[in-house]
Amino acid sequence: MATAVHLRPVHSLTLRPPAAKAARSWLPLPGKLGARTRCSRLALLVCSASSPAPAAPSSSGGDSAAAFAAAKWAEWIPRAAAAGGAGAGPEKVLRLISGAAAMPVCQFVDKPRNFLHSVDPRVKLVWLLALVVLPARSNIYMRFGLVVFLALLSVWVLPNHVWKDQLGRVALLSGFIFIMLGFGANGAPSLIQTRTPPPSVLGIPNIPCSASGYSYTIMKLGPLQFTRKGLSVASTSASLSFAIFQSASLCLTTTTPEQLASALWWFMIPLKHIGVPVPEIILTLLLSLRFINLVFDEVRNSALAIVARRINWKKLTAMETIDIFFNYIRRIFKNIFDHAEQISKAMVARGFRGDPSNHKIYFLTESSFGFSDAFSLLCLIALMGLASYSDQLV
């Protein structure tokens, strides 16, 4: 008994059937398995266990049959429009990730060279320490002045495509911290009522309002309030966050990892006499600074690999989309661990046995104190003096 199986061509450019006969949507297979027909030699056919497809219209001959086959298989081709709508969200997220990882974050940029490239790395580390301490110990005007100073310095030093990307994200993060802490430090009114009776009950006059217009509450937003305490806490935290991120980015962008390790070695070498493992710390710093580039490259390449496959996100369920993102994260960690294993094998092959004190670390850099370093230290002393003088004025 012959078995009726629905056959569909894989490619839309199959041979046209004769004009006199209607195009069949199914063909009976012969009972003898070894038999071959002429059709099996001319076109590649795929068996389908689904129900037979509707027959192609035969009124217009072979042209209508070819058009029907092309329209049938056009539904299976992923197009850009199919990725739109509800399925465009995951692809946009991956494109944003790949674009963010493409920027040289915390990576040395050799060109264009500027004033900061010639400053000694030891002076840069002293500036980093000062920019961490000053926002926490200065008044609000000095904090915002440091933020403006770092923003202008970033625009002058960094390339356009770098500072536009970094300043926007750091400013967004600092603004979010400012708003959350400004309304959250002393935002919600206390639910505990004071047990002291009001002045009218005690027969004493009310406390007069300030003649200078002083008000502890700056702004109210529904049940939340923005007070002077919230302004102080928010400005300190936001300025400190901006200073830490942007000053570290400026230092790493204009200083090679070897120069940073050499400067840190110069500051920490006296601690070696009290048992501090200075060689281990310096070697860890060198490996970490060189490993940052590999992490960003893996994040970017893995995201671009998923985008390049043109996945039709609209046809995927929520669990399938989540599974793709979990596989994406798993692939990133797998590649990172593979790179770490290759680095360890390379170090072992070169004679490293786990004790950095038995190996000489070559920094391949020479530190020299010049005019730019003296000018930077004078600017730092002037900035610290201005911060101390501004505290006395306010």
311 and 384 assigned to the same domain:
no
Answering whether pTM is above 0.75, one says no
Average per-residue pLDDT in the chain? 74
pLDDT at 127: 92
Average pLDDT (184-209) is 66
Average pLDDT (369-378) is 86
Residue 178 lies in a domain: yes
β pairing state of 26-28 and 217-221: unpaired
Distance CA 224, CA 192 (A): 16
Q: Is 106 left (phi over 0), alpha (psi -120 to 50) or beta?
A: left
- Which of the two residues, 72 and 151, has the higher pLDDT score? 151
Average pLDDT (163-182) is 88
Determine the 3-state secondary structure of 54 from DSSP.
Answer: coil
Is 229:186 a contact under the CB 8 Å cutoff? yes
For residue 34, is pLDDT > 50?
no
- Predicted confidence (pLDDT) per residue in 101-137, tens digit: 666 566 777 777 888 888 888 999 999 999 988 888 8
pLDDT at 192: 60
- Predicted confidence (pLDDT) per residue in 265-324, tens digit: 889 888 888 888 888 888 888 888 888 888 888 888 888 888 888 888 888 888 988 999
294 and 167 assigned to the same domain:
no
229 and 377 assigned to the same domain:
yes
Residue 205 lies in a domain: no
For residue 79, is pLDDT > 70?
no
Distance CA 291, CA 341 (A): 12
244 and 302 assigned to the same domain:
no
Top-confidence range, 65-79, 119-133, 352-366: 119-133
Phi, psi dihedrals of residue 45, rounded to the nearest 5°: -115, 145
Is 8:46 a contact under the CB 8 Å cutoff? yes
pLDDT at 176: 93
* DSSP state for residue 118 in the 8-state scheme: G
Q: How far is CA 34 from CA 5, 28, 49, 161, 205, in A?
A: 17, 15, 21, 66, 113
Average pLDDT (363-368) is 66
Q: In the block, which residue shows the tokens 């329209």?
A: 71
121 and 158 assigned to the same domain:
yes
Range of the domain at 297: 89-106+256-363
Average pLDDT (61-87) is 48
135 and 250 assigned to the same domain:
yes
385 and 251 assigned to the same domain:
yes
pLDDT at 51: 41
- Which of the two residues, 23 and 262, has the higher pLDDT score? 262
162 and 261 assigned to the same domain:
no
272 and 244 assigned to the same domain:
no
For residue 346, is pLDDT > 70?
yes
Residue 38 lies in a domain: no
251 and 261 assigned to the same domain:
no
Q: Hey, what are 255's tokens?
A: 């200083």
Is 302:336 a contact under the CB 8 Å cutoff? no
249 and 263 assigned to the same domain:
no
Q: Hey, what are 218's tokens?
A: 């700056």
Q: List helix spans (H) across 256-277.
A: 257-268
For residue 202, is pLDDT > 90?
no
Average pLDDT (86-96) is 73
Is 72:39 a contact under the CB 8 Å cutoff? no
148 and 251 assigned to the same domain:
yes
Residue 171 lies in a domain: yes
Is 332:298 a contact under the CB 8 Å cutoff? yes
Q: In the block, which residue shows the tokens 């993060």?
A: 173
pLDDT at 98: 77
Q: Write the DSSP string, 162-231.
A: HHHHHHHHHHHHHHHHHHHHHHHSS-SPPSPPPSSPPHHHHT-PPPPPPTT---SEEEEETTEEEEHHHH
Top-confidence range, 64-68, 299-303, 326-330: 326-330
Q: Three-state SS string across 183-199, please?
A: HHCCCCCCCCCCCCCCH
Give the helix/strand (H/E) hosting 9.
strand 4-9
Enumerate helices (H) and strands (E) in the chain, giving the number of each. 12, 5
Cβ neighbours, 10 Å, residue 285: 15
Residue 266 lies in a domain: yes
Nearest to 130 by CA among 392, 376, 393: 376
- Which of the two residues, 13 and 132, has the higher pLDDT score? 132
- Predicted confidence (pLDDT) per residue in 213-255, tens digit: 667 778 887 778 888 888 888 899 999 999 999 998 888 888 8
pLDDT at 78: 46
Q: In DSSP terms, which residues pair with 220 in a beta bridge?
A: 225
Nearest to 73 by CA among 87, 56, 59: 56
Q: Which residues contact 17 (CB under 8 A, 6 or more apart)?
A: 23, 24, 62, 65
Average pLDDT (6-20) is 45
Q: Number of structural domains, the chain?
A: 2
Average pLDDT (187-215) is 64
- Which of the two residues, 358 and 328, has the higher pLDDT score? 328
What angle (nearest 5°) sits at the alpha carbon of residue 150, between those of residues 230 and 219? 20
Q: Which residues contact 42 (CB under 8 A, 6 or more apart)?
A: 15
For residue 385, is pLDDT > 90?
no
Residue 3 lies in a domain: no
Residue 26 lies in a domain: no
Residue 8 lies in a domain: no
Cβ neighbours, 10 Å, residue 336: 16
